[in-house]
Chain A
């Protein structure tokens, strides 16, 4: 309504009124938006053990994965994506899915969702003790075909089966939409397409939809546009952002998402997980860097940053690689 009034005002402005209007407009620009309307709390969904390790070249022993997840559990993270019940033929890094699920110490109050691309994966997950699952849609047809060998609609039909079984078993389901800000094959992705897929997943029964900038090409402009489209169809409280830092834009994109009311952010300890579409480039945003920003903004996360950094240092030593987290790099060298 305010926007309508601004339009009306502008067309009937006299010169004197114009000055006042401009002054008001500058005041509105000058600080009200950045300082307000940020959530008090943000839920971090830690995807390092799954999305991170799945995209690392080195395959990590089961024991190491279990240790990592246990260390992350101790850091206060409320959600830790533990593994993926995708066929080991496609994702060998996650072949030990059952052992990992059975081996971790499940901390009370912490969720350990697992990926389940189809009914078979869901059944195996539940048998291994999973009490939350996740399904992965795409906003790009080409990406869907190349990634999971079927169209977006066909994938959503598969997910209906999983949703039905999950409802019967009382297992909550999280939905992911990939390529929300760009596709490695299609290029630009229309915000309406993202909204369409997000709405379908939400209507099917997913309690939360994580919107993923799969190749990290998004900027605060495209993030804002996309969220505006999605928020018309899915309540903002049911949305999360999953930003990749391939072009260094992740924290800025996350900030804009917070300003739009998003209060769930996916990230990966030590920024684990490269980008399969830009070899050598970074992938997931580092949890340490996200937590540093949120705490600096006075936003609560429940996460103990030093303990988180310990977990990051541990997994990097095992993978024999440097951390992708700038906070971790800076802090250990002061």
Chain B
């Protein structure tokens, strides 16, 4: 370290230190990059296009097209692809072919194909159709819960407890969703404590992962930060995911803050499928392509092949006769 006066000089002046030891500057810069002290090294992408995306598209897509989409996505390296939803077709006609889709897709090894199961009936149908992972959907807003699934938050938790208990017996993992985590179309602002309560309940009941959803995309990095700060007091960060909607263009910035806080699971939809039922004509889910572009640009691994995702996005947009919502796909398809 040198003699005392030199040491004092170095303690008082960083510039003097790196001047006397030039190799140190490079080492310090490398250390930041190597430890990646702000971001996870790997992020798991949960692709929700075939379910959350298609469920919110006006066009009802034929079963064959859904199966082809999922098979294309399976070939991209995506580790989780939400395949369909075992909700009554009376409420969600776009998902009426749930059993056919689940039976028709090619299940690639090491890829998970969770399906939504709002209640025991749905769960049993899902298992009969070959589901090996399911998801349940809670809400941080009472009004949203009542209007969306016709019961209070507490009542919905009782239903989910049934599903989770039965899933445990079948050794089927359950993912929990909390919607309206950053705002509700009916109640407006949502208190982070409310999100925390619901997330904790789902986690304590046995959900292995809780996806926190900004259902109407109103969140900003400020509200994302406050909400995550609250939830992380009760649920380990490793069990959290963010599900950001891009209705107000805030999704990538919100995801960035979540990553900075240690979240390493991100939900997204190929081509940004799925509009927002609360702001007609506006976008909904954040595009998987845009998320991947950001993560890869930051040196974060995902295991996903971006060009192949763009191809899958291109395919489904042609089938839906619509433009992609992904800016990356738009830019790359038109670069001179």
Q: What is the interface of chain A, defined by CB distance below 8 A to chain B? A: 1, 3-4, 6-7, 25-26, 28-31, 33-35, 184, 216, 218-222, 245-249, 251-252, 254-256, 275, 277-282, 286, 289, 292-293, 295-298, 325-327, 329-331, 333-334
Q: How far is the CA of A219 from the CA of B228 in the complex (A)?
A: 23
The reply to whether B31 and A252 contact each other, CB–CB distance below 8 Å, is no
The reply to whether A255 and B256 contact each other, CB–CB distance below 8 Å, is yes
Which of chain B's residues 256-311 have a Cβ closer than 8 Å to chain A?
Answer: 256-257, 260-262, 276, 278-283, 287, 290, 293-294, 296-299
Closest to B278 in A: A334
- Is there a chain A Cβ closer than 8 Å to B248's Cβ? yes
The reply to whether B298 and A251 contact each other, CB–CB distance below 8 Å, is no
Query: How close is A191's CB to chain B, nearest CB, in angstroms?
Result: 11
Query: How close is A228's CB to chain B, nearest CB, in angstroms?
Result: 8
Residue in contact with B294 in the complex, picked from A1, A219, A245, CB distance below 8 Å: A219
Residue in contact with B220 in the complex, picked from A35, A297, A329, CB distance below 8 Å: A297
With contacts A6-B31, A248-B326 taken as known, whether A277 is within 8 angstroms of B336 at the C-beta atoms is yes
- Chain B residues with Cβ under 8 A from A330's Cβ? 217, 247-248, 276, 279, 282
The reply to whether A30 and B237 contact each other, CB–CB distance below 8 Å, is yes
Query: How close is B6's CB to chain A, nearest CB, in angstroms?
Result: 15
Most chain A beta carbons < 10 A, residue from B249, B297, B335? B249
Residue in contact with A29 in the complex, picked from B221, B262, B278, B282, CB distance below 8 Å: B262
**What is the interface of chain A mostly: helix, strand, loop, or mixed?**
helix
Query: How close is B147's CB to chain A, nearest CB, in angstroms?
Result: 16
The reply to whether A296 and B221 contact each other, CB–CB distance below 8 Å, is yes
Apart from the given pairs A1-B17, A248-B328, A331-B279, 19 other A-B contacts in the complex at a CB distance below 8 Å: A7-B27, A26-B262, A28-B37, A29-B262, A221-B299, A245-B327, A246-B331, A247-B293, A247-B331, A248-B290, A249-B297, A252-B294, A277-B336, A281-B331, A281-B334, A292-B249, A293-B249, A297-B220, A330-B247
Q: Tally B residues with Cβ within 8 Å of A.
A: 59
- Is there a chain A Cβ closer than 8 Å to B319's Cβ? no
Q: List 27 A-B contacts (CB under 8 A).
A: A1-B11, A1-B17, A3-B28, A4-B28, A28-B37, A29-B38, A30-B232, A34-B260, A216-B331, A219-B294, A219-B296, A220-B294, A220-B297, A220-B298, A247-B290, A247-B331, A252-B253, A252-B294, A275-B331, A278-B331, A278-B336, A296-B219, A296-B223, A326-B246, A329-B283, A330-B248, A333-B280
- Chain A residues with Cβ under 8 A from B262's Cβ? 26, 29-30
- Is there a chain A Cβ closer than 8 Å to B171's Cβ? no
The reply to whether B281 and A329 contact each other, CB–CB distance below 8 Å, is yes
- Is there a chain A Cβ closer than 8 Å to B68's Cβ? no
- Chain B residues with Cβ under 8 A from A289's Cβ? 248-250
Q: How far is the CA of A296 from the CA of B248 in the complex (A)?
A: 11
- Chain B residues with Cβ under 8 A from A279's Cβ? 334, 336
Q: What is the interface of chain B, defined by CB distance below 8 A to chain A? A: 11, 14, 17, 24, 27-28, 31-32, 37-38, 217, 219-223, 225-226, 228-229, 232, 237, 246-250, 252-253, 255-257, 260-262, 276, 278-283, 287, 290, 293-294, 296-299, 326-328, 330-332, 334-336
Closest to A36 in B: B225
The reply to whether B328 and A247 contact each other, CB–CB distance below 8 Å, is yes
Query: How close is B331's CB to chain A, nearest CB, in angstroms?
Result: 4
The reply to whether A326 and B248 contact each other, CB–CB distance below 8 Å, is yes
- Chain A residues with Cβ under 8 A from B328's Cβ? 247-248
The reply to whether A221 and B246 contact each other, CB–CB distance below 8 Å, is no
The reply to whether B221 and A297 contact each other, CB–CB distance below 8 Å, is yes
Query: How close is B228's CB to chain A, nearest CB, in angstroms?
Result: 7
The reply to whether B282 and A333 contact each other, CB–CB distance below 8 Å, is yes
Most chain B beta carbons < 10 A, residue from A35, A248, A249? A248
Query: How close is B302's CB to chain A, nearest CB, in angstroms?
Result: 13
The reply to whether B17 and A280 contact each other, CB–CB distance below 8 Å, is no
Q: How far is the CA of A151 from the CA of B235 in the complex (A)?
A: 56
- Chain A residues with Cβ under 8 A from B257's Cβ? 34, 255
The reply to whether B222 and A298 contact each other, CB–CB distance below 8 Å, is yes
- Chain B residues with Cβ under 8 A from A245's Cβ? 327
Query: How close is B39's CB to chain A, nearest CB, in angstroms?
Result: 8
Most chain A beta carbons < 10 A, residue from B17, B221, B280? B221
Q: How far is the CA of A292 from the CA of B222 in the complex (A)?
A: 11
With contacts A26-B262, A35-B225, A278-B331 taken as known, whether A222 is within 8 angstroms of B220 at the C-beta atoms is no
The reply to whether A251 and B250 contact each other, CB–CB distance below 8 Å, is yes
Closest to A288 in B: B249
With contacts A248-B252, A333-B281 taken as known, whether A326 is within 8 angstroms of B247 at the C-beta atoms is yes
The reply to whether A281 and B280 contact each other, CB–CB distance below 8 Å, is no
Q: How far is the CA of A249 from the CA of B32 in the complex (A)?
A: 22
Q: How far is the CA of A30 from the CA of B11 in the complex (A)?
A: 28
Q: How far is the CA of A34 from the CA of B256 in the complex (A)?
A: 9
- Chain B residues with Cβ under 8 A from A216's Cβ? 331
Residue in contact with B293 in the complex, picked from A29, A35, A248, A296, CB distance below 8 Å: A248
Q: How far is the CA of A278 from the CA of B330 in the complex (A)?
A: 8
With contacts A247-B293, A330-B217 taken as known, whether A219 is within 8 angstroms of B282 at the C-beta atoms is no
Q: How far is the CA of A34 from the CA of B17 in the complex (A)?
A: 29
Closest to B293 in A: A247
Q: How far is the CA of A278 from the CA of B287 in the complex (A)?
A: 19
Query: How close is B10's CB to chain A, nearest CB, in angstroms?
Result: 9
- Chain A residues with Cβ under 8 A from B296's Cβ? 219
